[in-house]
Amino acid sequence: MTEQRTRVAEPSSAAAVRDRRFFVVLLALLVPAFFAPIATGGERSVTAAEANGTYRDVEGKSEIKILALGHGKLKVQLALVYEYQSGAGPAANVGDASGEATIENDTAVFVPEEAGDCKITMTFLPNGKLKVEQQGDECGFGHNVRADGTFRKISSRKPKFDDA
């Protein structure tokens, strides 16, 4: 009678294979997380669809039109209004500017061509909001007219610009 031997995997080697497979799967899931691009300081990239459109201030009087041109450029047009009461009744000063802005992540910078010491920074916020900050007073706008404020997107359509 011949003796037949059946080889049975040792429990310790089966556990080692299972542990190795688990480690490989875990590594495959974790490695991409460590090498994924990370936005710093709360920055996020803004898509053309998020940027494109028409924005109005809280009062509904000032307006900013934005069109993504690609390669980190935006076409921008500002139509700003400062209303006040004069001796003759309601009056307003206006300020207009248009040109190209550069955008990186969620922040665009616009320097009006006719302006002296003027820089307008626009930060795209979630939910169609645009935070605008003006640095400098020589932007070529009317008296007391400033670009500062929070604007809300009122249209996502490709804006029509006054020069086109």
Structure tokens at 134: 């003006």
| pTM for the whole structure | 0.72
How far apart are alpha carbons 74 and 104 in whole angstroms?
Answer: 11
pLDDT per position as a tens digit, 130-148: 999 999 988 989 999 999 9
pLDDT tens digits for range 81-118: 999 999 999 999 999 999 999 999 999 999 998 777 89
DSSP state of 44: -
